[in-house]
Structure 1
C-alpha cells in the first residue's frame, strides 16, 4: 500500500512529543518539570494504529494468522533489542531504582509483554522498559482485530470491532478491576483504537475536511492536547486526550492530498523511525544523563533537554536504518519462506 504521508508526519510528531515529555521528566531537568508535556503522543499513536490497521486490511484478503505474524515481526524483535540493552545498562550502571524491578519474573513478563504491576511504581501496569506499557494495549487490539478479520463483510467487521472495544471499556468503567490483565484489557483507552478504525473507514470513502478546516482542526487540536494534559485524570483520559488526538488525526489525514505533493524527507524518515525513537529514547537519555554531570554542571537543565532530545533522535534513526529495517525485512522474508515450505 502507498505510504500515507500525513500519517507519517503525525507519527513523527507523536514520538517527538513523548520524547520531549520524558526529557523534562528526567531528574537532571527537574527545574523545568512544570513545562513538561507530550504524553498525548501515546493517544495519537493509538488512533493511528486503529486507522492503519483498518486501511491496510480493508481491501485485502489477509487472514488472522498472517496478520498476527506480521504484527509480531513488527513489534517484538526491535522491542527485544531495546529491552535487552536497557536491562544490561541497568546492571552495568544501576539507577536510582537499584534494579529492584529487574527480577526473573518481571523479565519474562516484560519480554512477552504480558501485563503486570511494576515492582517499584506499584500502581502502574508497566514492563521493565516502561514505554513498553503501550504495547500491552497494541497487542490486545491486534488480537481483537485479527479475530474480526474472519468476518467477510466490512461493515459487520467494523461493527464487531467497535462493539467489542466499547463493551470492554464499559466493563472497565463499571468494574474497575484490580487484576493487571483486566486493568489493561478493559481500559477505556481501547476506544482510541476504535476511533482510528472509524477514521480509517471515513478515509477510504474519500470523505475529508476542506483544506482550510483540516488545517484549522490540527492547529486547534494540538494546543487542546497540551492544555488538557494538565487537566485530565486517568479515568477520563479518552475524553481529554483521546478525542482531540482523533481530531488531530482527522485533520492530518484530510491534508493528505496537499502534503503528498511535496513530501518532506526528514519528517518521513522520522515517522518511519518513530517506533525506534519511542523504544530507544530512554536508553539515549540515560546515557546522556550519565555523562552530563562530568561535562556540564546541573545548572543548565535546558541544555540537557536539548542534548537529550537530539541524542534520542539521532540514535533512533541509526537504529531504524541499521537494525530495525534490515531485521524486520529479514524476518518477513524468512517467515514467507517457512510458510511456503509448510504449505508445499
Structure 2
C-alpha cells in the first residue's frame, strides 16, 4: 500500500507518547495519558489491515505469514534480551518460568510469575497479544466475500465484549480477548472503509476533529481524570479520522524526522524501556535532577528504538520478505 504520510506522523506521536509515559513513570512524574498511544496504534492497525486487504488481496496463510514475519522476529529478539538479562541478574524483579517465556514468544496471554498480571516477559508485548489475535481473526475473514468481512469481524468482537461483561472469570485468554479495547481494531476498519470510499470529512472538519481529540487527551492529562478504552478509543478515532481528512487534502508531506520516527515506531515501542531503565539508574546514582533525568530517558529510549529499527528491524524485514509476491485469493465480491 502507498504511504499515507499522516498515519506515519500519527504512529510517531503514539510511540513517543508511550516513551514519555514510561520515562515519566520511572522518574516520579505524571503522564499516564501517554499510554493512550496504544489505543491509537490499535485503531491504526485496523485501518492498515483493511486497506492492505483491499489493495493487495491474499490468502489467509499469506496474510498471517506476512504479519508474523513483520512482528515476531524483532519481538523475539527483545524478549531474548529480557530473558538473558533476567538470568544474569540485571532485572531483579523479573521471575522467569519456562511456561511464561514460551507463552510470551507464542503471543499467548498468561499471568506473569513476576507480578500476577497478564503480561509477557517483555511487558509492553501485551499489546502484541491483541494484535496477533486480531490478525488471526482477520485472516479467517479473508475466506469470506469482501462484502461480509467487516460485518462478521465486527459481530465477532462485539459478541466477545458482550460475553466479557456477562461472564466473570479469571481465565487469562477469555479476560484478555473480551476487553472492549478490541473494538478499536473494528473502528480502524470502519474508518478504512470510509477512506477507501472517499467519505472522510473535509480538511477544516479534520482540523476540528484533531482539535477535539487533542483537547480531550490534554484534559485527561492536566486534570488527571480517570480513563479507559471507552474514553481513549473514541479520542483515538477522532485523531485518526482528522488526520486522514487532512491527508486527503494534501496537508502532509514526507518530512525526514517525523517519517523516520513513524517508520521506527514499532522498534521504539519494543526497545525504549531498556534505555529508560539504564538512564534512570545512572541519573539517580549521579544525582541528576528528575526533570533532566526524564528528558534524557525519553531521548535515549527514542534513539535506541530508531537504532534498533535501522540495525535490526529493517534488515530483518527485508531479508524475510517473500521474493515472490503471494498469490491473490480468488473469491466473489
The TM-score by the shorter chain falls in which range? over 0.9
TM-score normalised over the length of structure 2 = 0.92
Tell me how many residue pairs correspond in the alignment.
325
- Deviation sequence 1:236-286 (CA, Å, 0-9, x none): x23211111111111011111345653222111100100000000111112
The one of 283, 287, 296 equivalent to 1:297 is 287
Alignment of 1:254-273 (within 5 A): 254-259=245-250, 262-273=253-264
Alignment of 1:1-344 (within 5 A): 1-26=1-26, 29-30=27-28, 32=29, 34-97=30-93, 99-100=94-95, 102-122=96-116, 124-152=117-145, 154-228=146-220, 230-232=224-226, 237-259=228-250, 262-294=253-285, 296-298=286-288, 300-333=289-322, 336=324
For the residues of structure 1 that align with 2:141 and 2:24, how far apart are their CA atoms? 40
For the residues of structure 2 that align with 1:185 and 1:46, how far apart are their CA atoms? 14
For the residues of structure 2 that align with 1:169 and 1:253, how far apart are their CA atoms? 28
CA contact (8 A) 2:180 2:230 kept: no
For the residues of structure 2 that align with 1:245 and 1:38, how far apart are their CA atoms? 12
- Deviation sequence 1:83-104 (CA, Å, 0-9, x none): 111222333343351x32x121
For the residues of structure 1 that align with 2:284 and 2:84, how far apart are their CA atoms? 22
For the residues of structure 2 that align with 1:261 and 1:191, how far apart are their CA atoms? 28
Paired position in structure 1 for 2:331 = none
In structure 2, the gaps of 5 or more residues are 328-333
Q: Secondary structure at the match of 1:126?
A: coil
For the residues of structure 2 that align with 1:134 and 1:227, how far apart are their CA atoms? 25
Q: Secondary structure at the match of 2:287?
A: coil
In structure 1, the gaps of 5 or more residues are none
Q: RMSD of aligned C-alpha atoms? A: 1.9
Q: Secondary structure at the match of 2:322?
A: helix
For the residues of structure 2 that align with 1:197 and 1:317, how far apart are their CA atoms? 28
